[in-house]
A and B are shown apart, each in its own frame.
Chain A
Amino acid sequence: MHRIEAYLGRLYRYAFSLAREDDLARDLVQRCALKALGAKTVPDDESAYRAWLFVILRNDFRDHLRRHRLTLALFDDEPDAEPEDAPTMEYWRGDERLINVLNVKQALGRLRPRDQEIVSLIDMVGLSYAEAAKVLDVPEGTVMSRISRARARLLALVGESNVEPLTGRRGPTGNKWTR
């Protein structure tokens, strides 16, 4: 088994979070594999190798957007300022059963691309803050604040969900499930 094969699944998760479609995500992974295997110098250290792979994939996605004259806020060179819609830092008081795959998938789709990307790198791919910082070319502290802001926003979106958990108990009208 080649070293890169252990990372194909994780590369796909990241590619899918960028591309939001299966075909393009697969293409990105395949091209990344070709580039990595054809590279003259490859990092020996596993952590550096991991970050290097995701940088290749990210750059390829950026090239793909350029080729198709598309733009994505992800690659804006804006400073990482606190956005106007910054989440409140109060405790989230929703029902924890709202945090389910369906609601989280929907909420992820509503996140800003920059938030989606950091959630993908940390939670879907499992990179450390240092590795994610290398991929995004930002300081580690920025990764720390981005991921916490992205998760706060995600929880807020999940809390707005109208998909409520069922308890198996009939409501007073007899025809509605209630919490």
Chain B
Amino acid sequence: MDRKDAFEQANAFLDGELNRDGRTEVLARAAKDPLGAQELSNLSRLKSVIEDSVDVPDLTLPAAAKPAPERGGRRRALALAACLALAFFAGGAWWWSSTHAPAGDLPVAWALKAHGAWRGTRTDRPFLRPAGLRFDAYVPDLSAAKLRIAHVGEITAPAGAPALVVGYKGTRGCRVTLIVDAAPRGLTAAPVYFETEALQAMIWRAGPLRHQILAQGMAAARFRKIAETVRRSSLDRLPLNEETRMALARSRVNSAPCAA
């Protein structure tokens, strides 16, 4: 393979356009050739910086472009709401039943409320401790997934205990919320997923802390990648390595913007 082809392949690799064999080939070449590895790193950085080079203003549809309500829209909306409520309660019940016995109360409703409510301050500190907790929560940097910390705050969980709420905001309408509080007895480090078309959540234990991560309208594969990354970093308490950062970036490139 000549140099031009190798460069094109490195670009295609970063854009998530190669199949498994192609990816393996690029990684093997990078492993053998430090200049090739550096090239991948440079291209990855360039791609990430380009994405940040245009500031997007707040855009809304013009009034004339808003679709008029259709006949029967109200009835359809009610039917949709009923379906969503059913799905929510069915999903919540499944989540509850699959984890309630070992993990104690799983606060679906208040976690969702916390997810929808945050607006606020930024932080760059990797360790945060909510008042009343004896342990720091590790807050990973998810900038590789184009998610920036946009909110750090505390709420009171239904049982009266404090919980840390970290809000990550993306550039394509995505919001991800990490909620950390004291872990109930029985909750383990194994992840428990809760997914519907509109809502994704994952819960796990890291040390003495319960972690819940939530997003709405995010592509399922991308959510799982992010959630698993956060889970692993909460257990390791280390920044993400380059491979994980690239995987997050690729996952974002290959997914649609958040629908919620």
Interface check B12, CB cutoff 8 A: yes
Which residues of A (17-63) have their CB < 8 Å from a CB of B?
17, 22, 26, 29-30, 33-34, 37, 46, 50
Contact of A124 among B17, B50, B252, B254 (CB under 8 A): B50
In the complex with contacts A26-B57, A123-B50, A124-B54, A10-B257 CB distance below 8 A: yes
In the complex with contacts A34-B62, A129-B17, A147-B15, A22-B57 CB distance below 8 A: yes
In the complex with contacts A33-B61, A124-B50, A128-B254, A91-B45 CB distance below 8 A: no
Interface check A110, CB cutoff 8 A: no
Interface check A6, CB cutoff 8 A: yes
The interface residues of chain B lying within 8 Å CB-to-CB of A29 are: 59
Interface check B42, CB cutoff 8 A: yes
Which residues of A (114-162) have their CB < 8 Å from a CB of B?
119, 122-124, 126, 128-129, 144-145, 147-148, 151-152, 154-155, 158
CB distance from B157 to the nearest CB of A (A): 30
Stretch in B2-10, B87-95, B187-195, B201-209 with 4+ CB within 8 Å of A: B2-10
Q: What CA separation (Å) do A12 and B64 show in the bound complex? A: 19
Q: What CA separation (Å) do A90 and B2 show in the bound complex? A: 11
Q: What CA separation (Å) do A22 and B56 show in the bound complex? A: 10
CB–CB B253/A126 < 8 A: yes
In the complex with contacts A6-B256, A89-B4, A148-B11, A99-B49 CB distance below 8 A: yes
CB distance from B177 to the nearest CB of A (A): 19
Q: What CA separation (Å) do A9 and B259 show in the bound complex? A: 13
CB–CB B171/A9 < 8 A: yes
Most buried by B among A13, A90, A99: A99
In the complex with contacts A96-B41, A100-B49, A126-B253, A33-B62 CB distance below 8 A: yes
The interface residues of chain A lying within 8 Å CB-to-CB of B59 are: 8-9, 12, 26, 29
Contact of A101 among B41, B52, B254 (CB under 8 A): B52
Chain B residue with the shortest CB-CB distance to A4: B61
Chain B residue with the shortest CB-CB distance to A50: B256
Most buried by B among A22, A124, A155: A124
Q: What CA separation (Å) do A145 and B57 show in the bound complex? A: 32
The interface residues of chain A lying within 8 Å CB-to-CB of B56 are: 9, 12-13
CB–CB B53/A101 < 8 A: yes
The interface residues of chain B lying within 8 Å CB-to-CB of A30 are: 62, 65
Contact of A17 among B10, B49, B54 (CB under 8 A): B54
Q: What CA separation (Å) do A46 and B138 show in the bound complex? A: 36
CB distance from A36 to the nearest CB of B (A): 8
Chain A, interface size category, equals 35 or more
In the complex with contacts A104-B50, A144-B11, A96-B43 CB distance below 8 A: no
CB–CB A9/B252 < 8 A: no
Q: What CA separation (Å) do A46 and B258 show in the bound complex? A: 13
CB–CB A123/B51 < 8 A: yes
Interface check B47, CB cutoff 8 A: yes
CB distance from B29 to the nearest CB of A (A): 13
Which residues of B (203-260) have their CB < 8 Å from a CB of A?
252-254, 256-260
CB–CB A129/B15 < 8 A: yes
Q: What CA separation (Å) do A171 and B154 show in the bound complex? A: 47
The interface residues of chain B lying within 8 Å CB-to-CB of A33 are: 61-62, 65
Interface check B35, CB cutoff 8 A: yes
Contact of B45 among A1, A34, A99 (CB under 8 A): A99
8 contacts between A and B (CB under 8 A): A6-B256, A10-B257, A26-B59, A34-B65, A89-B7, A124-B51, A126-B51, A144-B12
Binding site for B on A (CB under 8 A): 1-2, 4-10, 12-13, 16-17, 22, 26, 29-30, 33-34, 37, 46, 50, 89-92, 96, 99-101, 104-105, 108, 119, 122-124, 126, 128-129, 144-145, 147-148, 151-152, 154-155, 158
Binding site for A on B (CB under 8 A): 3-4, 7-8, 10-12, 15-17, 35, 38-39, 41-43, 45-47, 49-54, 56-57, 59-62, 64-67, 171-173, 252-254, 256-260
